Structure formats: structure tokens, C-alpha cells
Structure 1
Amino acid sequence: MMLYIKNMVCSRCKMVVKDELIKFGLHPKNIELGEVEVEEDLNDENKNQLNIILQSFGFELIDDKKSRLIEKVKNSIVDLVHYSEEQINTTFSEYISRKLHHDYNYLSNLFSEVEGTTIEKYFIAQKIEKVKELLKYDELSLSEIADRLGYSSVAYLSNQFKKQTGLTPSFYKSLKQIKRRGLEDL
């Protein structure tokens, strides 16, 4: 049985979900961002009990098709920005459309309707969080960060960073206490 889980956006999330499923007496076969396949079938009562447990960790079971699709969009973006070394050789809209096997306009309209923001703004927010992370680690130059995240130039990255945070990347890097948001809060 496939379970679709909201806010499952990182490898630690996968570990927590797996642990909780096992404690609940389930046997996970495959765990991906936002999706878990378990050997057992669950009735509505078991789903509700599991959902209560998952909610205590900030997760939530999702049943409706539209919510699952939105979660797949989010997880695809998180995966692309934070965990993949892949450089997309096409437009972002074509990449998402191909990855999720849906027309981009449909995905975009659905996402905006439910989330109250656009897919592009969500993508930019994820990229800015990754920039913050890379600035904090201080291992890459701004030029290397721009290249890694697919920005056409350092100026474009800096401009987008300032629009999102109100700070320049260099000023942000100089701050003593760098505050980042959790991926699930974007």
C-alpha cells in the first residue's frame, strides 16, 4: 500500500517516518520523499491513528489526489535544489512537467490555488535557502554557488537573494548568527 506524507522533505524526515511506521507495526518496503510503500493494507481507523502519530512530528497523511500531486511538486523541487547534483538542461517548467507527467499550466494553477504562491516562487525560496546553507558552510565562492544552482550570473543570484532576504549575500555571510528556515516551512 502506498502512503503519501506531507512535509517529508529530507533524509532525516525519511528516518523519522520509517521509525514511526515500524513502531506502529508496519513494514516499509520503499521510502521516498513524500511517499512510503508498506507491505500492509491499512483501514481508515489505522490511517487515522497513524496520522495522529505522524502529526506529532510535523507530518501528515494525504489522501486526495490534488494534495499528493502538490506534495510531489514540492518534493521534486526540494530534491532538485538540495540533494541533486543534476543540472537541468531545459527550462524549469519543462523539467517539472516531464518529471510529474502533467501539463505545467495545470500544475502551476493547482499549486497556486492550494498553496497561495507560485511554483516559481517556491523554487526560488528553496534555492535561496540552499544559498544560505552554502554561504554558512563557507566552502564555495559566490560564483561557484551561482553555477551550482543554475544561476546565469553572480549578479542575478545576488539580486534574487536581496529581493528574498533584504540582504546581500556578502552581508548575510558576515552575520554572526545566520538564521535559516526549515524546508517544510517554505
Structure 2
Amino acid sequence: MVVKSELDKLGLHHTRVELGEVYIRETLTAKELAQLKAALLKSGLQLMDDKKAILIEKIKIVVREMLLKEDEPEKTKFSDLLSDELNHDYTYLANLFSEVTGITIERYLIAHKINRVKELILYDNLSLTEISYRLNYSSVAHLSSQFKKVTGLTPTFYRKLKTIKNTVPGNV
């Protein structure tokens, strides 16, 4: 909504505005591009016109969307899914991601998976079996091992912390 509004104010004709992408009919002049960047920055948004940065952002979007799917979990290998979604070889995407961000796609994916596990434990009261299925873990043991490696806690203990916090006086 903010992006569309700023484009309209600047008189730029857009054909499509999606999360992370804007399609503009005409080629922007340097002045129009600078005005758009400034307008978006005032709204707390950043215009990414570097192709590598755009591709990195698209990788991050695919990861987030994959983890938020509420329907059937993805059974396709993540590397194949990413390659198909972004029309690039996975090795190229992985090398680019590591070069630009300083971490591997796998580490990024694991960090976001663990954050999603935390959300599901805290807010959805799902069993670890249900969570491991939803997030495409091979087993509860694999989920638990990865969770402990990243957080230092077991998922069961993490769930207990929520219970303890809710029973402490003053946390009503």
C-alpha cells in the first residue's frame, strides 16, 4: 500500500506491486530513481536496484514463505525448490548468498526453521511430532537435535519455560 501510494505521488505507472517487487512501465530517469529511493526511505523502505541484492532478498522470501505454509509440507528438496522458484542453479544461489551475507543458505534456513519451531511451540501448542511433520524434519529426534544445537535448550524444556513464565505471580 505504501509503495503504491509513493509511486502514484511520483506519477510512476506501475503494472504490478508484490512483496519485494515492483514492475514499472517506463524506464526511470536518474532523477525519478533518486526521488523514489528518498520517498521509500521516508517510509522505512529501501529500494534495491542491485541484481545480487534482489536475488538474495528473493531467497529470503522463499525461505520465509516455505516455513509459513500451513497446508501440506514441502516434500521437494529445498535446493530443487529454490532453483525452480528463482530460475537459477542452486550452486550459484548458494555461493552468491554466502558471499553477500556471510552465512550459508542452509544456516539461514536452519535459523528460520528454529524460530518457526519456537513460534509453533509457544503459540500453537502443537506436539513435537506435528511440528516436525509441518517443517519437514525427518524425525522428532532430528528436530530436537537441531533445536538444542541452535538454542542450547531442548524443545521440551523450551515449552516448560512458557509454562513456568505463565505461572509466576505478576505475569497475569
Fold-level similarity (TM above 0.5): yes
Match of 1:98 among 79, 84, 95: 84
Summarize the Cα distance change of 1:102–1:45 in structure 2 as closer, same or farther, 3 Å threshold. Answer: same
Name 1:135's counterpart in structure 2.
121
Q: 1:24 to 1:83 in 2, by over 3 A?
A: farther
Percent identical residues: 55
Distance 1:138 1:90, change over 3 A: closer
Q: Does 2:67 correspond to 1:81?
A: yes
Higher relative contact order (CA 8 A, sep 6+): 1
Structure 2 gap segments, 5+ residues each: 167-172
Once residues 86 and 148 of structure 2 are traced to their aligned partners in structure 1, the CA distance between those partners, rounded to angstroms, is: 31
Larger Rg over CA atoms: 2
Query: Match for 2:50: what amino acid?
Result: D
Structure 1 stretch displaced more, 81-90 or 128-137 = 81-90
Q: Among residues 145, 148, 169, which one is paired with 2:131 in the alignment?
A: 145
> Which residue matches 1:180?
none
Residue 122 of structure 1: CA displacement? 0.9
Q: When the two structures are superposed, what TM-score results if normalisation uses the length of structure 2?
A: 0.80
Distance 1:128 1:42, change over 3 A: same
Q: Deviations over 1:72-131 (max 9, x none)?
A: 111111111124635333221111112211111111101100010011111111111211
Total equivalences in the alignment: 163
**Do the aligned residues in 2 keep the contact of 1:28 with 1:38 (CA within 8 Å)?**
yes
Cα drift, residue 164 of structure 1: 1.5
Q: Offset of 1:154 from its aligned partner?
A: 1.2
The structure whose residues are more often helix, as a share, is 2
| TM-score, with length taken from structure 1 | 0.74
2:171 is equivalent to residue 170 of structure 1: no
Is 2:60 the partner of 1:71?
Answer: no
